[in-house]
Structure 1
């Protein structure tokens, strides 16, 4: 058994383990405690007289040695600790145990297989006794016995102890070895399929990818990937649909920059250790994309003799360099995402909100208002629209309806846009002409903030009293669909868009508010489209099933809100439009426009994979029409990955599962799906239905809104 223990430069063969999940440079650097190499017949005492190792923890030295089955009958010493406080001193540290290299429970040699099985079980027990964070097992092409041992351990864990139980990391190479018939992904699938039967404990097992990348990995068929500035082979991208917890790289992949300094104060420049360009791209993507708990193991020789400092400082410097490298990658996600809990919620799921049926809590409004990019887009469009009304139509007092005003962020943007228009007009006209043209009153829009939510009204009224009382603003406490002011708006503004565009019933709200608009009314949003694509995501599938079981609910055909960060887009960036909505449209074909169905087709994937479901996104256009009915786009924003508006995190996509029907797809096999948007006869409910048509025909999911629907009636949530 190998343990990743505190650093020491006496042993040239070393392993450095680092957590990439915090921004405060919190990391651990550990040295490998190796086992007896194959072919040797006596215990190698490299550090102490009893065959163990000196471990330095917080300045106190402890002694460890590990129980091992010997090769060729050579006995080994059992575990001993010279200080009973050693285990307590390691509490809270990141102790990672690695399976001994000689262990092979699936060996053709029955004697070796039996000894390996017993040794592996003993090492697992030892890892639990030492409260290790994780135990790394080595997957091989044919390893049914290893999978069975892991499954036995997983089943032995009490559900109440899941948070503190030792995790299992299955070590597999990223690429297919030359001497292997099948790709390592299939090795992992065999293990994952076995343990997924017990969904509550399946999350204990995840992947540790051995990133032994070479130039050859860049040959072959590339697939485009929207989030990336570089292409990857599809068989590499497929790994990111699986739960990857750790990456293992070799020191040979790293190169030293010119700057070397033992002083930690100078670590603000780029890190000392960097990867050659190809591996750098992959590792940066993997660490940033692989989830909030991704870890890094660096194996190889600790070549620190060039540093003219004491040995302990050398080890600390190297470890800190690695930590800085990870820190830089982590910070590239941006502080806003972290403030919004983006990384922590990468695989968190929740039910979609229903603003028409359930009153939204102020905390939701507060988190949405933190995403300023969306409101900057609205302000940009509002400024152009107001300028058009003032300059082209000489409308100095346009009427603006803010429908679903919430706590008032859109009202703020209307006022800011109006001020910018006033400033712009003053630079165009001479002062005398400004006074004549503005009739000395200037450009002052009349703003009506319409809101029905009693939980949002206190903050809205507070803003009115403190900020808007001298402005031309009026608060209307009423449902927008029932408000009858007796006049129409020049501009209508709302933000009822959900992660799928129409899943918060924006079409129904704006269609039932058509009495507030004219054919020439500028409506924001003017158009929004919904897109879907099939994905593979073991993490989301696990979390979704855990979510239902923890609430004693049978898994259902319910769409959910999830970032689905760890996913493999089976069809690359081929997002297909499924629904499209435009406002205002003054015709009576509401059912034909709002409740449609569509068949979608994709070419086959480049590699064998599995479909867990479909993920949905949206794109919004803020537009106005010209007198000849042409459309001018004033601004737009999107969460479709390859069109994603930079630094915007207010929405997460919608996941449509294939309930209990994970479908295997072979490379090149076309994919066909069907999706529909329906409503009940009384108009009180709206829902989605979907199914896979090929390569396998599945039942219609959520047929008749049996599992999930959206209510149009206040106080009657329908899922």
Structure 2
């Protein structure tokens, strides 16, 4: 589904130079060139990929399809490569289940220097969402490890046997390109969830997380339950557990604080419940769970 959407976008954009950053084994390269062929456009494609195994596959694909004159393969980290020319469009597939949890902001910040001043980034923006859930099975599975670290780790998981206690709310948003000199990818937010009156008392075991992305103009892609893309199976939700289940009396609000923290070598999340009763800050200083830069 994702590649069909990108194909549609490229058809709608009048482009000449296109860069695929994080090209992997070539699905977005293929979609780009198929769109160009369908519309009679001439594209010059740069496929940037740092994984040497994926680069080997890319070379085989380009040779097999006869695209040598149209595609230049760059075996490099996108943050280190110096492009010989500016791109009209920058395409990436770096979104995670929480939008930014696979370092899309950091990678695209490093790659946006490739774009022309009026260039287009796909995706152009994305927002994460959370909602409180009752998930006793997930809690017990994590508890079986008998340590704090597993309760301070976010899990990408298909949610079974969970009760979604309140509608999802926005957490963090990112937009690309972002040329602000004061731009930072650190974030903090506090959210308050009001449970429906007929919910009654309940236990909160953690928070389910999702994302919604604007690929280009009116084209969205995501897994947020209220706006999710039909037949989207590429991402499961993410789950942020609480060390101890929190009892929530009927009609009591749930308040949670979330941080996205950035260090010199890693990015991590911290989260803490404030109401109806406080919890410790989970994953303080990224001690249990982080993503390396």
TM (norm. structure 1) is 0.40
Label 1:418 to 1:506 Cα distance change in 2 as closer, same or farther (>3 A): same
**How far is 1:421 from its partner?**
1.6
Equivalent pair of 2:151/2:242 in contact (CA under 8 Å)? no
Instruction: Pick the aligned partner of 1:562 from 157, 161, 184.
Output: 157
Paired position in structure 2 for 1:580 = 173
Equivalent pair of 1:519/1:585 in contact (CA under 8 Å)? no
Paired position in structure 2 for 1:611 = 204
Instruction: Pick the aligned partner of 2:233 from 625, 646, 649.
Output: 649
**How far is 1:485 from its partner?**
1.7
- 5 Å-filtered alignment, 1:152-231, equals none
**1:636-662: per-residue Cα shift (whole Å, max 9, x none)?**
111011211111101111111101x10
Structure 1 residues not aligned, in runs of 5+: 1-372, 390-397, 423-442, 624-631, 713-719
Aligned residues: 291
Q: What secondary structure does 1:492 align onto? A: strand
Whole-angstrom distance in 2 between the partners of 1:603 and 1:450: 45
Q: What secondary structure does 1:646 align onto? A: coil
1:707 maps onto 2:288 in alignment: yes
Paired position in structure 2 for 1:419 = 37
Q: What secondary structure does 1:513 align onto? A: helix
- 5 Å-filtered alignment, 1:130-145, equals none
Label 1:444 to 1:455 Cα distance change in 2 as closer, same or farther (>3 A): same
**1:655-693: per-residue Cα shift (whole Å, max 9, x none)?**
11101x10011221111111011112xx21111111111
Which of the pair has more CA radius of gyration?
1
Paired position in structure 2 for 1:697 = 278
Whole-angstrom distance in 1 between the partners of 2:268 and 2:188: 12
Whole-angstrom distance in 1 between the partners of 2:143 and 2:61: 42
1:376 maps onto 2:19 in alignment: no
Paired position in structure 2 for 1:309 = none
1:622 maps onto 2:250 in alignment: no
Whole-angstrom distance in 2 between the partners of 1:553 and 1:693: 19
Equivalent pair of 2:133/2:165 in contact (CA under 8 Å)? yes
Equivalent pair of 1:519/1:586 in contact (CA under 8 Å)? no
Paired position in structure 2 for 1:225 = none
Paired position in structure 2 for 1:499 = 97
Paired position in structure 2 for 1:142 = none
**How far is 1:468 from its partner?**
3.7
**1:604-662: per-residue Cα shift (whole Å, max 9, x none)?**
34221100001110011112xxxxxxxx33x2111011211111101111111101x10
* Structure with larger RCO (C-alpha < 8 A, sep 6+): 2
Q: Which has the higher strand share?
A: 2
**How far is 1:588 from its partner?**
1.4
Equivalent pair of 1:519/1:584 in contact (CA under 8 Å)? no
Q: What secondary structure does 1:455 align onto? A: helix
Paired position in structure 2 for 1:715 = none
Whole-angstrom distance in 2 between the partners of 1:374 and 1:698: 38
Paired position in structure 2 for 1:8 = none
Instruction: Pick the aligned partner of 1:538 from 124, 136, 153.
Output: 136
Paired position in structure 1 for 2:87 = 489
**How far is 1:710 from its partner?**
1.0
1:473 maps onto 2:64 in alignment: no
Q: What secondary structure does 1:643 align onto? A: coil
Whole-angstrom distance in 1 between the partners of 2:278 and 2:149: 23
**1:61-108: per-residue Cα shift (whole Å, max 9, x none)?**
xxxxxxxxxxxxxxxxxxxxxxxxxxxxxxxxxxxxxxxxxxxxxxxx
Q: What secondary structure does 2:57 align onto? A: helix
1:401 maps onto 2:29 in alignment: no
Equivalent pair of 2:268/2:291 in contact (CA under 8 Å)? yes
Paired position in structure 2 for 1:589 = 182
**1:536-585: per-residue Cα shift (whole Å, max 9, x none)?**
01121122233x35xx89644111111123210011xx211010000012
Whole-angstrom distance in 2 between the partners of 1:464 and 1:521: 25
1:664 maps onto 2:247 in alignment: yes
Whole-angstrom distance in 2 between the partners of 1:479 and 1:518: 20
Q: Which has the higher helix share?
A: 1
Paired position in structure 2 for 1:100 = none
1:673 maps onto 2:256 in alignment: yes
Structure 2 residues not aligned, in runs of 5+: none
Q: What secondary structure does 2:261 align onto? A: strand
Q: What secondary structure does 2:105 align onto? A: helix
**1:334-357: per-residue Cα shift (whole Å, max 9, x none)?**
xxxxxxxxxxxxxxxxxxxxxxxx
Whole-angstrom distance in 1 between the partners of 2:154 and 2:60: 36
**How far is 1:519 from its partner?**
2.7
Equivalent pair of 2:154/2:241 in contact (CA under 8 Å)? yes
Whole-angstrom distance in 2 between the partners of 1:554 and 1:709: 11
TM (norm. structure 2) is 0.95
Whole-angstrom distance in 2 between the partners of 1:701 and 1:471: 51
RMSD: 1.6
Whole-angstrom distance in 1 between the partners of 2:148 and 2:206: 20
**1:491-530: per-residue Cα shift (whole Å, max 9, x none)?**
0000000000000000000111222113311100100000
Instruction: Pick the aligned partner of 1:638 from 207, 222, 231.
Output: 222
Equivalent pair of 2:131/2:169 in contact (CA under 8 Å)? yes
